Structure 1
Amino acid sequence: MKSIKRLLGLGVVAASALAVTPAQATEHFKVCYSHYTGWEPYALLESTGILKRWEKKYDVDIEVSLINDYVESINLFTSGAYDACTMANMDALTIPAAGGVDSTALILGDFSNGNDGIVMKNGDSIKDLKGRDINLVELSVSHYLLTRALQQNNMSERDLTIVNTSDADIASLFVADKNAAAVTWNPPLQVVRNAKGAKMVFDSSQIPEEIMDMLVVRTDTSDNFKKAITGAWYELMGQLNSRSKQASALVREMAENSGATEAEFLAQLKTTYMYFDPAKAVEVFNADKTYKTMDYIRQFSFEHGLFGQGAADANFVGIEFPNGKVLGDKHNIKLRFDPSYMALAAQGKL
């Protein structure tokens, strides 16, 4: 509160102070997401009116925007155009964190349990990819999935040619190419795997819990924003998990938004392990497995040059976990797994 005091006369005797208390300015924040089964609920935050209630509770204004290109959405977050963005754990490490943006994994929405896959025509197994071109978003989770599949089949990236492709174009290119091979995620995966002559030869259920889909925020964003977006998300999760007519209507809305039929979207949900219960998501962030997974991912990232030329080794970026452990440089922590807001949601304290 700012007080303005005006002295009358010669200033020997002070008059009563006039206190002027302007209303607290509402904070404005921007959230972006891209098309993916586990992120389609972000569009529902506004259409259901849930977000408005949480904005009012914490006196914040939150704008939620769809960005059609996944990598572009993360680049926009990294550049400062958005305060929060949906992304996978690997991409959080290799784009904003490696780029020097102090980032916090705030909400664990799901893990891919078959929602990412490798599909090809004229082939029945990973080994049939030898000598082929394969479309994917280079240096993304799709690239990571391909590498893990190749490792399990005693192959390497030298055995094929990676063609860097926007996720917005992968499905149409696959359908048009008689000898196509691609790595992608839902919803385009649904189109790709159902194309004539297509066979899925590997999917993320074969590397369980390694591909986490999260909402990542700039660490220095306000506490009120973090509480509001977390509270809104889990209120919506409660509705989606209610198995009610309302939940069915929300699923239909998400299907329409994603360009899928209701049956197609329900099929995608089956390969998406959604953390409807925030307590379960908290357990994942606290688990040793998450530490081990991120160690594996950072090694992959360094080996593929994703930390940039300035990185001498995989320790370049520090990753902080809730148990106090730090992977990498503790003086350069740029990615933080913070379950505290999900814990508040689980305790009903938001």
Structure 2
Amino acid sequence: MCSALLLSGCNNSKSDSVGGSKPTPEDTPTFTLAWSEYPSWSVFGVAHELGLVDKEEGKMGSLEEKHGVDIVLEEATYDTCLNRYTSGNCDAVCMTNMDALIICPSRSGVAFLPTSTSVGADACIVVGIDDLDALKDHKIYGLEGTVSQYCFARCIEEIAKETGGDQKPGDYQFTNQDPAIAAAAMSGNQETHQAIMVWNPFVLQTLNDRADAKVLFDSSKIPGEIVDMVVVAAESQEKEGADKFMAAVADVFYAMNAEMASEERGDEVLVEVGKKFSQLGLEDMKKVVQQTQFYKTAEDAKKLMASDEFKQTMEVVEKFCVEQGLVKDPTYTFDGDATAALQFDASILDTL
């Protein structure tokens, strides 16, 4: 439950639901958004507590009422969310641009809301290793076929480019392991784990647990390449009320950004987001939102989606995914080609 301070800012209508939600009128379109714990996605869980949206079907928060749509929020692990999307059991899902490229050939989608980008939230953490040459002698534990492996490979390439070195991702022993297990092994001083490649909260937790651990490199080397998004299924976009749903989701997201920027209670809202994101406190969450930079306004999002840089980024992501055998023949578009498996289209944000 949200605190008294948070509840004091919810809309003033009263009911038995958090934030004074109201029953959904008949014939209101209903859509489902699957989300997992991550900073710019956990805001949807807090939005329920603030009364902006009611996660239950048949109840509406203030922004659902505004847009005339019932949004059902389903929280699950990241992999479960992706599975729900591919199996047709949700209308939209929170996922990265890389996973959208991999998954959308199975169920076409439209990426309409970029929420954040990793600028240090994915990191190679080491103990007793000072440079890339020394790193070659050790296994680097991280989850293969994910943004962790992508970030590792891209950072090696960028560092080599910066330094004039000849290092290549294939020179290193990237070893498949779940990030929670890898981080726990390093935190537990296991000698086998002198290098790990993980994302937050495991980055901060590991650095907090081991004073001799340090970041060798991180995703600040590749800002704007790992992008967190909301993707709606193309078939769901054809349903009546889809535009209302997409606009409402975006409106909720930007309203939460405004709440976190509030001088009056921004810190407390950030703490509530932290509770949805592995129970991190205020100081750690302040670091998290520096390392996971939000696209705080519709203007920020539209600028990203229209940029040549992001189009070039997707070419790099595509190359990595194809080379790793993660996807065979991906098709994506920025110009509204409905035959593409993945469309990048933020035009709904013009309606806000």
Q: Tell me, yes or no, if the aligned pair for 2:35 and 2:75 is still in contact at 8 Å.
A: yes
Residue 71 of structure 1 is matched in structure 2 by: 79
Superposition map of 1:98-177 within 5 A: 98=105, 100-151=106-157, 152-153=159-160, 154-176=166-188, 177=190
Aligned match for 1:227, one of 233, 247, 266? 247
TM-superposed CA distance for 1:263, in Å, is 0.8
Aligned match for 1:268, one of 288, 295, 301? 288
Q: Is 1:209 aligned to 2:224, yes or no?
A: yes
- Mapped to 1, the partners of 2:177 and 2:351 lie a distance apart of 40
- Mapped to 2, the partners of 1:58 and 1:86 lie a distance apart of 20
Whichever residue aligns with residue 198 of structure 2, its letter is T
- Mapped to 1, the partners of 2:99 and 2:132 lie a distance apart of 24
Residue 9 of structure 2 is matched in structure 1 by: none
- Mapped to 2, the partners of 1:71 and 1:125 lie a distance apart of 33
Q: Tell me, yes or no, if the aligned pair for 1:122 and 1:179 is still in contact at 8 Å.
A: no
The alpha-carbon distance between structure 1 residues 31 and 166, as it changes in their structure 2 partners (threshold 3 A), is farther
The alignment partner of 1:41 has SS state of: helix
The alpha-carbon distance between structure 1 residues 172 and 58, as it changes in their structure 2 partners (threshold 3 A), is same
Q: Tell me, yes or no, if the aligned pair for 2:120 and 2:292 is still in contact at 8 Å.
A: yes
Residue 342 of structure 2 is matched in structure 1 by: 335
Please say which of residues 124-133 and 265-274 is displaced more in the overlay.
124-133
TM-superposed CA distance for 1:294, in Å, is 0.4
- Mapped to 2, the partners of 1:285 and 1:226 lie a distance apart of 16
- Mapped to 2, the partners of 1:39 and 1:190 lie a distance apart of 18
Q: Is 1:53 aligned to 2:62, yes or no?
A: yes
Tell me the TM-score normalised to structure 1 length: 0.81
TM-superposed CA distance for 1:200, in Å, is 0.7
Percent identical among aligned pairs is 27
- Mapped to 1, the partners of 2:261 and 2:155 lie a distance apart of 33
In the alignment, structure 1 segments of 5+ residues that lack a partner are 1-22, 325-329, 346-350
- Mapped to 1, the partners of 2:276 and 2:245 lie a distance apart of 25
* Residue deviations 1:221-253 (CA, integer Å, cap 9, x gap): 2222112211221222222223x2222210111
Q: Tell me, yes or no, if the aligned pair for 2:44 and 2:252 is still in contact at 8 Å.
A: no
Residue 34 of structure 1 is matched in structure 2 by: 36
Q: Tell me how many residue pairs correspond in the alignment.
A: 306
Q: Is 1:305 aligned to 2:325, yes or no?
A: yes
- Mapped to 2, the partners of 1:124 and 1:116 lie a distance apart of 18
Q: Is 1:89 aligned to 2:97, yes or no?
A: yes
The alpha-carbon distance between structure 1 residues 233 and 113, as it changes in their structure 2 partners (threshold 3 A), is same
Please say which of residues 158-167 and 125-134 is displaced more in the overlay.
158-167
Whichever residue aligns with residue 207 of structure 1, its letter is I
- Mapped to 2, the partners of 1:212 and 1:170 lie a distance apart of 23
* Residue deviations 1:268-312 (CA, integer Å, cap 9, x gap): 1122221112112101101111111101110111111111xxx3x
TM-superposed CA distance for 1:341, in Å, is 1.8
Q: Which runs of at least 4 in structure 1 moved beyond 6 Å after TM superposition?
A: none
Please say which of residues 268-277 and 279-288 is displaced more in the overlay.
268-277
